[in-house]
Amino acid sequence: MIDIPTETQSIVRLDPYWDAYFRWPADYFPFNLPACSVEKHQYELGKQNEAIITWDISYNLELECGIVSAEKQLLHVMQPQKGNMGGHFCVTHLLSEDQLSGPVGLTFTWAFYIPMPAYMPKHPMGIIQLDPQELKGKNTVITIRDTRPKNQ
């Protein structure tokens, strides 16, 4: 069994952008957004009744990502972070068996960074709903890399 530290705190509230997302198919990965590329990889866990979602994202991307239940409940949000150019950070969320009772949505929203998250201007882009059976017993790693040209 692989031991992966997780941030288990859920925020559970209705996703305010649910009706505004484009619905992308489950096989949409890999794909490109205007400033980044997005890939999905999965690794086996020892436990079959839970799942882990790991966001591995470049610093300085103005992108907010979330995990949404089939009931439109926003379970976790990954906020953009400032950091060293070329660097990246990881945020990991544990999904319990109860949270895996229906499709799990991964959301992508442009979030124009300001240091007060509640006031960030946002533009919802898309949601990819994954079958819980695809997630159970796995660490699903969503890798998001900045593809904007670097100033030289």
Structural domain tally of the chain?
1
Name the DSSP letter for residue 19: G
pLDDT at residue 5 is higher than 70: no
pTM assigned to the model: 0.86
In the prediction, which pLDDT does 115 show?
66
Asked if 26 and 51 touch (Cβ cutoff 8 Å), the reply is no
In the prediction, which pLDDT does 91 show?
93
Residue 63 within a domain: yes
For residues 89, 124, 38, 147, the Cα torsion angle rounded to the nearest 10 degrees is -80
Residue 2 within a domain: no
Residue 1 within a domain: no
Residue 6 within a domain: no
13: burial class by Cβ within 10 Å (0-12, 13-18, 19+)?
exposed
Tens digits of residue pLDDT in 66-98: 999 989 999 998 888 889 988 999 999 999 999
Query: How many whole angstroms separate alpha carbon 30 and alpha carbon 84?
Result: 25
pLDDT at residue 59 is higher than 80: yes
Residue 82 within a domain: yes
Residue 122 within a domain: yes
Tens digits of residue pLDDT in 23-34: 999 999 999 998
Domain that holds residue 123: 13-146
